[in-house]
Structure 1
Amino acid sequence: MALPNETLAAILHELPPSSLAAVACVSVRFNAVAERVLYASVYITEMLTESSPLPYRTLYWCEAMRRRPHLYDAARRLHIRWQASSPPAPPSPYLPNACDELARILRHLSLLESLDLFLGPANLVPGTEEHPPLHAVERAVAGCRFAQLRMCGLGADAAKGAQAYTRALGAFLGALPPVLRALRLDLAGAPPGLPPRALPALAQFRGSADAAAALLPGRPVRSLALVGDDADVTRENLPRMAATAGALRALDLSAMPARPLLLRNVSTHLPAVESLRVRLALRHTLHYSFSGIRILAGLSSVLRAFERLAFLDLSPTGVDGVGRADSLEELSLCMEWHRACPSLRRVVFPSQTDWVLGADGAWALVAAQD
C-alpha cells in the first residue's frame, strides 16, 4: 500500500477497538500502526466484587504496555475507573499492589494529554509495613511527570478511616505543566502543599465547594462544577470562588440537590454566570399554591438577580418533583423568566424539552434531548 503511515493512522482512528484488533492481524505494518492507534486512548471501567476483587483489566493493560515499551510515547488519553460492587465487598489487601503496578506504567507515559483516575475502594485498604499509609491516587501518580497534560481527574471512594491526601498530591499538582486547563478532584479542602503559582491556566474545575474556594482565587477558571451537598456552599467559601482571575461564566450544580436559597446566594456572588445547570431540590422549598410544573414559577425572583444568564438547564431535576411536562406551561415559564432575566435565551426543562428565544423575540420548542 502506498499510503504513508500518518494517513493510515488517520483512517484507523475512525475504527472501534474490535476492528482495530482485526486490522492489526493483516500485516506487520498494519499491526504497528493499529497498535499505536489502539493504545493511544484507553478507557477501562471495572467492577470489583467479592469473586473478582482485583482490577484485572487494568493489570492486563499494564502487562501489555510493559511488553510494548515502544508504545509509551503513543499514549494520549488514559481513563481508568474502579468501582465497588453494591453492597461493597471488603477491599482486597492487594489493591495497593495494583496501584503500584499502575504507577510503574504511568511514569513512562510522559506525553499523556488526558488522565482520569478513579480508584474506587483502593483507598480503603489499611496501610501495612510493606505499603505505608498513602492515598491510593498518590500511590498511582508518584514520580509521574506529564509535559502535555491538559485534563486531569483524580479520585477514590471515601469513608471514615480512609487515607487522606498528603502533601504528595500538592507536589504532583504543582509539577503539572502550565497547559493544564481542566481538573477534577474529590478532596474536601485545599490540596496539601499546593504551590501558590501552580495551575496558572486552569479554566475548568470540578470538586467540592471548599476545594473550589481554595483553588479558584487568582486562577482563570471559567467553568465550575460543584459536588456534595448544597449546605457545603456557604457565605464564607462562595466569595472565594468568585475571586477568579476573570468572571466565572459557567456553573454546574447538577451533582447536588440545590435549593432556591443556594441560587440566591450564588447570584449575589457570581452574577456574571452565563450558563447555569442545576438539579433543583423542590420539595418543601417552593410555594405549593402552584400545581405541576408551575411550581417552578417561584424561580423568577431568583433569576432576576443574574445579570448575564443566557442558558438555564434544569434537565438534571427529577420530573417527579415538578409534575409532567406541558408545553403551554413551559412556554409561559420561559416568557415569565425572560421578563425577570432579559439576558435569558435558552431553557432546558426537567422534561428534557429545549426552548430557545428566536431573533423575532418568540420562544420556540426545539427538540427533546436524548
Structure 2
Amino acid sequence: MLDNFYARKDGLLHEAERRGASSRPAKIQHLVADSSPLGPPASSYSTLPIEILDFILRYLPSQDLCSVAISNKHLGAVAMRSLYHTIRLVRPVESVKCLRTLSQNPSLALLARSLAIHWSNILYPTRNLYTLAIRALCNTSLLNTLSIDVPTDFHPWNLSSCSFQLKELSASFPCNQDLIQFLESQPSLLDLTLRGFNSDPAEFSFNLSTFNLNPNPTSFALSPEALPRLARLRAIHAGPDIIASILKDRPITQVTMPLYADCVCRSLDALNMSSEPIEKLNIISFDPDAPLYLLSEIAERLPNLKALHIVILLAQCSEALLEGLAPLLRKFKALQFLTYMSATSSDDVSQDDEQTIAAMWHKSCPTLKTIILPMGKVWFMENCKWTCLED
C-alpha cells in the first residue's frame, strides 16, 4: 500500500511541474534557464540610467532616502549619493552625529557637494564641536557650496587644512586677516556672502540719527590675484573699505550691501570699481535722509542698472515723497525691476494711490517691468495698465 502511495505522489508532482513549466511565459523561462549562481538575476537591476535615478531620488525626503539606501545594493549606492549631496546642520545632536560620520568615513564625505552649518542658536559652543566640524570639512574635498553661521564667540575657524575649491561661500566669519587668507585660496569662488563684522561690536554706534556697525573698521586688503571669477557679492554689514577691496578689478555684476549715514558716497563710489558693469544692486539703508538723495546718487553712478532693490530702515515714505521720486528715475536707461521698501510709513497709501505712483514711475522710466512699493504689493504692466499681483 505504501509503495502505491509513493508512486502516485511522485506522478502527481511530476505532472504539476510539467504543467507549470508549460504555462510559464517564455521570458521568465529564459531568465530562469540562464540564471547563474555568480550574481543576482538581471531583472533585479533597474534599467534606468544612474543619472535619472539620482534625479528622482533627490525629490525624496531624507527619511525616505534612508529607506531606499537599505533596500538593495544597486539603489542604495544612488540613494547614498543623494542623501549626502546636500547637508544642512542646525540642531546640535544631529550635527554631532553627521559630522562624526563624515570625519570617520571619507568615502561618504566625498559625496557632499553642499554643506550648511547653522549654529546661531547654540549659546555655549564648545571647542570639541568646532574641532569635529574641522575634521569633517577636511574630508569633504569635493565640496563646492559652504555656508557657516555661528555665534560671534565661536572659536575662530581655521580652514587652511581643507582642500575643497568652493563656488559659493556664505559665512559669519569676522572680516579679518584669517578670512582674507582663506578667500585667497579659493580662485573658483563665484558667489560670496559675508555676514561678519569688520569692527569690535563694543564700538557699534546707534541712536535716532545714526546706525553704524563699522565705526572703526580693521584693514581688509585682498591681493589683486584673489577671487578672479567672483560674480556676486553680498556683504551684509560691510563698510566701504571692504566693498572696495572686494570689487576692485573683479567681474562682479550683482551686489548687496548696507549704506551707513557717514559713508554713503564712499560705498556707492566703490561700485564703479568692478571690472564689469553692475546689473543688480540691493541696498539696505541706515540713513534717515536717504529718500531725499539715494535714487539720484545711484543713478549718477549706475545708470545702466537692470534691477534695483532698496530697503530704507530709518525713514518714512509718504505718498507725496514717493511721487516726488518719479523725476529721479529718468536717469536710469535700462532699469526693469525696482523695489522701494521702507520700515515705516507716515500715512497709509491706498492701492489706488500705489497704482498712480507706479504709472508715474513708469512714465519717467519706460523700461520698468515690475515695481514693489513700500506697502509690499507687486505691480506689473498688463494690457498697457499697471496691475497689482493681488488682483
Q: Normalising by structure 2, what TM-score?
A: 0.73
- The question of 1:202 aligning with 2:224 is answered no
Structure 2 match to 1:143 = 161
Unaligned regions of 5+ residues in structure 1, if any? 47-54, 124-134, 157-163
Conserved in 2, the CA contact under 8 Å of 1:9 and 1:34? yes
Name the CA shift for 1:255/1:17 in 2 (closer, same or farther; >3 Å): farther
Pairing partner for 1:244 from 253, 262, 274: 274
2:101 counterpart residue number? 64
Structure-2 change in CA distance of 1:347 and 1:301 (3 Å) = same
Distance 1:303 1:113, change over 3 A: same
2:377 maps to 353
Aligned to 1:126: none
Looking at structure 2, the residues matched to 75 and 20 of structure 1 have their Cα atoms a distance apart, in angstroms, of 15
Alignment size in residue pairs: 322
* Pair 1:328–1:192, CA change in 2 (3 A): closer
The amino acid that maps onto 2:228 is P
Which deviations, in whole Å up to 9, do the C-alpha atoms of 1:223-254 show, x marking residues without a partner? Answer: 10014x53264223321221111211111124
The aligned amino acid for 1:20 is L
Structure 1 partner of 2:250: 219
Residue 154 of structure 1 deviates from its aligned partner by 1.4
Counterpart of 1:130 in structure 2 is: none
Shift of 1:60: 1.7
CA positional deviation for 1:183: 0.3
> 1:2 aligns to what?
46
Please name the residue that 1:367 is paired with.
389
Question: Aligned partners of 2:271, 2:263: CA distance in 1, in Å?
Answer: 10
1:33 corresponding residue in structure 2: 78
Task: Pick closer, same or farther for the CA change 1:354–1:234 going to 2, 3 Å.
Answer: closer
Pick closer, same or farther for the CA change 1:74–1:190 going to 2, 3 Å. Answer: farther
The aligned counterpart of 1:317 is 342
Instruction: Summarize the Cα distance change of 1:42–1:204 in structure 2 as closer, same or farther, 3 Å threshold.
Output: same
Matching residue's letter, 2:178: A
The SS at the match of 2:366 is coil
Structure 1 residues 7, 335: closer, same or farther in 2, change over 3 A? Answer: closer
2-structure distance, mates of 1:121, 1:243 = 30
Alignment RMSD, CA only?
A: 2.8
Q: Distance in 1 between matches of 2:347 and 2:297?
A: 26
Three-state SS of the structure 2 residue aligned to 1:74 is: coil
Conserved? CA contact 1:353–1:366, under 8 Å: yes
Residue 219 and residue 232 in structure 1: after superposition, are their counterparts in 2 closer, same or farther (change >3 A)? farther
Residue identity over aligned pairs, in percent, reads: 25
Matches within 5 A, 1:1-370: 1-3=45-47, 4-46=49-91, 55-84=92-121, 89=123, 91-92=124-125, 94=126, 96-123=127-154, 136=156, 138-139=157-158, 141-147=159-165, 149-156=166-173, 165-177=175-187, 179-185=188-194, 186-188=196-198, 192=220, 194-207=222-235, 208-210=238-240, 211-227=242-258, 229-231=259-261, 233-254=263-284, 259-260=290-291, 261-281=293-313, 283=315, 293-314=319-340, 316-318=341-343, 321=345, 323-324=347-348, 326-358=350-382, 362-365=384-387, 367-368=389-390
Shift in Å at residue 282 of structure 1? 6.6
Q: 1:152 Cα shift?
A: 0.8
Instruction: Work out whether residues 107 and 144 of structure 1, in 8 Å CA contact, stay in contact via their aligned partners in 2.
Output: yes
- Between the aligned partners of 1:42 and 1:14, the Cα distance in structure 2 is 14
One-letter amino acid matched to 2:234: R
Following superposition, which runs of at least 4 residues in structure 1 exceed 4 angstroms of deviation?
189-193, 254-258, 322-325
Separation in structure 1 between the aligned mates of residue 93 and residue 321 of structure 2, nearest angstrom: 49
Q: Are 1:152 and 1:183, in contact at CA under 8 Å, matched by a contact in 2?
A: yes
**SS where residue 107 of structure 1 aligns?**
helix
Change (3 A) 1:77 1:354: same
**Residues in 2 aligned to 1:146 and 1:27: alpha-carbon distance in whole angstroms:** 31
Cα distance in 2 between the residues matched to 1:144 and 1:256: 37
Q: CA deviation at 1:68?
A: 2.8
Letter of the 1:33 counterpart: V
Q: Would the alpha carbon gap of residues 112 and 304 (structure 1) be closer, same or farther in structure 2, given more than 3 Å must change?
A: same
CA distance, structure 1, for counterparts of residue 377 and residue 176 of structure 2:
45
Q: State the Cα deviation string for residues 281-319 of structure 1 (Å, max 9, x = none).
A: 4745x6xxx6xx4542232243233332221123x534x
Shift of 1:122: 4.0
2:23 corresponds in structure 1 to: none
Q: After superposition, give the CA deviation of every residue in 1:120-168 in whole Å (9 maximum; x if it has no partner).
A: 2443xxxxxxxxxxx62x32x2322223x21111115xxxxxxx55433
Offset at residue 8 of structure 1 (A): 2.3
Structure 1 residues 10 and 330, CA, compared in 2 at 3 Å: closer, same or farther? Answer: same
Structure 2 SS opposite 1:277: strand
1:190–1:239 distance in 2 versus 1, CA, 3 Å: farther
More helix by share: 2
Q: Are the counterparts in 1 of residues 221 and 245 from structure 2 also a CA contact under 8 Å? A: no
Structure number, greater radius of gyration: 2
